[in-house]
Amino acid sequence: MSMLKEKSTAMKSIKINQTTVQLLLINIFIFALMSYLRPNRFLTLFNFQSMCFQFPEPALLTIGIAITMITAGADLSIVSTANLVATLNGMLLLYVMPSDASSGTVLLYLALCLLIALAIGLICGAINGILVAKLGIFPILATLGTMNLFTGISTILTKGQGVFGAFPDELVFVGSGMLFGFLPVPLVIFMVILALVYLLIHKTPYGLKTQWFGSNRRASFYSGIDNVKTVFRTYMFSALLGAFTGFLILARTNSAKADYGMAYVMQALLASVLGGVSPLGGKGNIFNVFLAIVALQFLDSGFNFLRISSFIRSSTYGALLIIGVFLEYVYNQRQQKKMVKRAQEAATKAS
């Protein structure tokens, strides 16, 4: 328990670390490079507003995957959860809500959409939680299976066609509106959720438990932590983030498809690793993940202006992910060697 108290004290005073500095420098470098290569297009208010509308979706999905990676897992089904929510909400608004509904009726239906998103998130999270936490199935295999399950349900509901139509202005405002004439609504929503997740992971006992479990599940068990409950809650939170993202996707794109945004999984894994979340679990800073997301958004926007094909982008992201995992492996090996050396020196001094 004393070790838990020490780690809790460290968490209460999270400071800017080396990873934060590196990510800030990466952001500055990418921003400067794209500004130099395409100043007339990259350095425009329209471009920055466009990025503010686009990046909240992959950013929320990244945070959802990041918190599961802290527990040495990964929720690969989070995008499928988002698409399932977008599909059900889209069908409700297009086929059930009256076409001549008043503003009050529309708001009631939007509230119902949020309740559906909450229910779907809880159900999908519970399924993942049972498979991973209760049954002990390897997280990647479990969520890969549920990813295909949720995608299949969306495909069956839409018969593979997707959901398109004229959605109410109140929903469009959530995805494309501006507060006070200059603040994109999706960005405001994302920043609020980011703050809540940061507090949850870094300022609560639950956040401590997730990191402790990811570091050493056996030690966390003998420290009195309920490992099953901790992991189960983590996948519930991840699915809820995915579900809310699905509502945001429908609001911004005015459509829903079973296979929308599947590339987001690769970007989310990459941003998590670049943000310092260890693939082996136990380590991660939500603020650093946010910086990694911003860097990838700058890079993606620059790729668009440079007319770089999606195939090259995918290859670049894949290469960066491999490099990030490799560097994390090298770092962990060095840390283990240092710990062994220190233990040997302490044993020699004691003898």
**337 and 230 share one domain:** no
pLDDT over 60 (residue 308): yes
**88 and 186 share one domain:** yes
Is 26 part of any domain? no
Is 32 part of any domain? no
- 258-274 residue pLDDT tens: 889 888 888 888 888 88
Residue 9, H or E segment = helix 2-12
**346 and 300 share one domain:** no
**243 and 340 share one domain:** no
What does the mean pLDDT of the chain come to? 86
Please enumerate, as own/partner, the contacts of 39-45 that have beta carbons within 8 Å and a separation of 24 or more: 41/305, 42/301, 42/302, 42/305
> CATH code at 262?
1.10.3470
Domains contained in the chain, number: 2
| CB environment 258-288: b (16+ within 10 A), e (fewer) | bebbeebbebbbbbbbbbbbbbebbbbbbbb
**160 and 285 share one domain:** yes
**223 and 324 share one domain:** no
**296 and 170 share one domain:** yes
**209 and 243 share one domain:** yes
**320 and 289 share one domain:** no
pLDDT over 50 (residue 90): yes
pLDDT over 80 (residue 343): no
Q: How far apart are CA 261 and CA 27, in angstroms?
A: 24
Band (pLDDT 50/70/90 cuts) for residue 4 is very low
Is 127 part of any domain? yes
What phi, psi does 169 have (nearest 5°)? -60, -30
Q: How far apart are CA 88 and CA 91, in angstroms?
A: 5
CA atoms within 13 A on the CB side of 1: 1
pTM: 0.85
Pair of tokens at residue 312: 């090259």
Band (pLDDT 50/70/90 cuts) for residue 103 is confident
Is 25 part of any domain? no
Is 190 part of any domain? yes
Phi and psi based region of residue 72 (left: phi greater than 0; alpha: psi -120 to 50; beta: remaining) = left
**197 and 230 share one domain:** yes
**185 and 301 share one domain:** yes
For the packed helices 139-158 and 103-129, what is the interaxial angle rounded to 10 degrees?
140
Is 140 part of any domain? yes
Band (pLDDT 50/70/90 cuts) for residue 16 is low
Is 65 part of any domain? yes
**207 and 336 share one domain:** no
Is 40 part of any domain? no
Q: How far apart are CA 63 and CA 316, in angstroms?
A: 21
Band (pLDDT 50/70/90 cuts) for residue 10 is very low
- 219-278 residue pLDDT tens: 887 788 888 999 999 999 999 999 999 999 999 988 889 889 888 888 888 888 888 888
Q: What is the pLDDT of residue 111?
A: 95
- Residue 343: which domain range? 310-351
| CB environment 217-250: b (16+ within 10 A), e (fewer) | beebeeeebebeebbbbbbbbbbbbbbbbbbbbb
Pair of tokens at residue 205: 């006992």
